[in-house]
Structure 1
């Protein structure tokens, strides 16, 4: 079992002074002293323009990049000192998920379940449940190579959930999905938060963040420039009835002008 801190309810994710640059000391700073805390069961939208540092941040949390400085704690586990324990409770779904095209969805999920050390019966049961809920049960024995982007995205989401993570991170998960597939994915994510899973979502579809997120963080130049509920963000701009899009554009424009 992962080594959990003495705190009975640690944050699902806690970042402290996180920093990452590329190209050496004089290179580009992608994440610049980022502090962030996300609670269990919270739906958190991390928003920013292209190049703001969102994906780099999530890749560090997932263990795919090493931070230059700072701390990452996942459900009380120090992800830098105990990366395997941290990964055991984490799922990461990138914007271009990798599938094994020659495998069918059921084969793929049972394979992923085996990688996580689940026994065959548990893996098969979870795979069937996920495929049925995502509307893919009828295609369970078809090879993924012939799937549309939306179908591939749903298979990848099922693969991310197969080991019942406590922190689920998704980078642009709704890109390319039709309305029906997007609704299935959004319902699945909301259900996960009700079960205590923390969901971190990056998206350029601001209406999704506006409707689903409990809290919203806006990042620019690798720094968190604003955070809170939609109402709290509106208060920062004195626009009490503004859409998230208007608030986002206002706050990022102020940051650029500063």
Structure 2
């Protein structure tokens, strides 16, 4: 934990985090992280592998108990009333976290009923989502037969069926083709335009810079910079700014035998092997 007193969480924020800590085997994965995510923002969390993004999101959404710190969602303490928090957020599951032996339509209805909906309401919302995500023709197929892009879309749909006020998406565009990625972005931008808040973690800096209104750069379990995309980029490309803050880039390694011009000995070695 930081040695100084932290300000109280902001009850006006969609998500307000103060001094969040998670330690695994003596090593902090999240190390006193504090962050405010405004209502109605499209917020990007970026950082290198192992920076603590997923751990932070899991603690902020009631999926992982923090070792220290506080998280408030829309003015309510997450860990004082986990059920309330989970009722107003939608967390996009990973592909290995869903029941892929169900059809797309069945999975959505099941997800809606888990949220307390009646079957008919869940069916109606499932049809609306299948149409919005261009999955009507795949509604009767088993999810394990879906492509990567289709699977991402059905996972996002399961997180939206109860009309959450906040969407939490961990690497939603990973392994998704450009067309599916564009369709997902359009749906999320429309959701934000209605007053929703989207929090997305991603490694794709150009996508975050284009899509998000706000961004936080996380490294070693701490926020290195946060604010609007323009504020964090500070007049540079967001990727360049990210590399300045996080570091780790080094000069290209020179491998003597790796010669794309054909000057190496690979051909000769191949002849000798024969």
Same fold (TM over 0.5): yes
Distance 1:96 1:124 in 2: 22
Any unmatched runs of 5+ in structure 1? 1-8
SS in 2 for 1:37: strand
Give the match for residue 75 of structure 1: 74
Moved more, 154-163 or 117-126: 117-126
Match of 2:15 in 1: 13
RMSD of aligned Cα (Å): 1.4
In structure 1, the partner of 2:241 is 247
Q: Which residue number corresponds to residue 251 of structure 2?
A: none
SS in 2 for 1:41: coil
Q: Which residue of 2 aligns with 1:5?
A: none
TM value normalised by structure 1? 0.89
Classify 1:78/1:197 alpha carbon distance in 2 versus 1 (closer, same or farther; 3 Å): same
Map of 1:105 onto structure 2: 104
1:58 equivalent in structure 2: 57
| Contact 2:93–2:159 (Cα < 8 Å) also in 1 | no
C-alpha deviation, 1:99, in angstroms? 2.1
8 Å contact from structure 1 (residues 48, 220) kept in 2: yes
Would you say the 8 A contact 2:95–2:151 is kept in 1?
no
Q: Which residue of 1 aligns with 2:156?
A: 157
Aligned counterparts of 1:144 and 1:227: Cα–Cα separation in 2: 37
Aligned with 2:247: secondary structure?
helix
Are the equivalent residues in 1 in contact too, given 2:93–2:156 (CA < 8 A)?
A: no
| Separation of aligned partners in 1, 2:162 and 2:30 | 29
- The 5 Å alignment of 1:19-58 reads 19-23=21-25, 27-58=26-57
Name the CA distance, whole Å, in 2 between partners of 1:102 and 1:234. Answer: 44
Alignment match, 2:260: none
Could you list the per-position Cα deviations for residues 139-195 of structure 1 after superposition, in whole angstroms to 9, with x for gaps in the alignment?
101111211111111111000000111111111100111111001111111111111
Kept in 2: contact 1:94–1:173 (CA 8 A): no
Paired residue secondary structure (2:40): coil
Larger Rg: 2
Output the CA distance in 1 between the equivalents of 2:200 and 2:218. Answer: 13
What is the CA–CA distance in structure 2 between the aligned matches of 1:133 and 1:251, rounded to whole Å?
39
| Conserved? CA contact 2:94–2:155, under 8 Å | no
Q: What per-residue deviation string (whole Å, max 9, x for no partner) do you get for residues 7-62 of structure 1?
A: xx731111111111111xxx110111111111221100011000110000001112
Alpha-carbon distance in 2 for matches of 1:175, 1:95: 11
Map of 2:126 onto structure 1: 127
**Other structure's SS at 2:97 match:** coil
* Cα shift at 1:95: 4.5
Partners of 1:173 and 1:252 lie apart in 2 by 23
Matched residue SS, 1:106: helix
Question: What is the count of residue pairs matched by the alignment?
Answer: 238
SS of 1:247 mapped into structure 2: helix
Cα distance in 1, alignment partners of residues 122 and 76 from structure 2:
25
